[in-house]
Amino acid sequence: SLCAAGASDVSYQELKDLKKANVLHIDVRERWEIDRFGKIPESINIPLGELMEALQMDPAEFKEQYNQKMPSRSDPVVFSCLAGTRSKQALGFATSLGFS
């Protein structure tokens, strides 16, 4: 299940369209889930337990750790997980840190 701030839930097709517009897709599943169920193309994996720290990192540190430019507080970001619970938590975390 997928979450974005503008619309809490995003369909698979909407995500595909958003990705064409360079939206950052953060998959908050655990690494073992990625290994077992597969990586979503063009997403970065930041397990939910690491997300708060990751979103507060120095941009250079974020790039080194996740091999991706750190999103600014106004960049569009979509979170995903297996069932939707963790992605909603991730959205709450990001919002609490000032991401719009």
For residue range 6-47, list pLDDT tens digits in order.
Answer: 556 777 777 777 777 778 899 999 999 999 999 988 899 999
Residue ranges of alpha helices (H) inside 1-100 are 12-20, 31-37, 48-54, 59-66, 85-96
Question: In which domain, by residue range, is 28 found?
Answer: 2-97
Round to whole Å and give the CA distance between 73 and 33: 28
Give the rounded percent of residues in the chain with a pLDDT score beyond 90: 62
pTM of the model: 0.85
Which pLDDT does position 17 carry in this prediction? 77
Report the CATH number at residue 56: 3.40.250.10
Q: Which of 4, 46, 70, 81 is catalytic?
A: 81
Decide: 1 and 9 in contact? Cβ < 8 Å: yes
Round to whole Å and give the CA distance between 19 and 35: 22
Catalytic status, residue 3: no
Count up the domains in the chain and report the number: 1
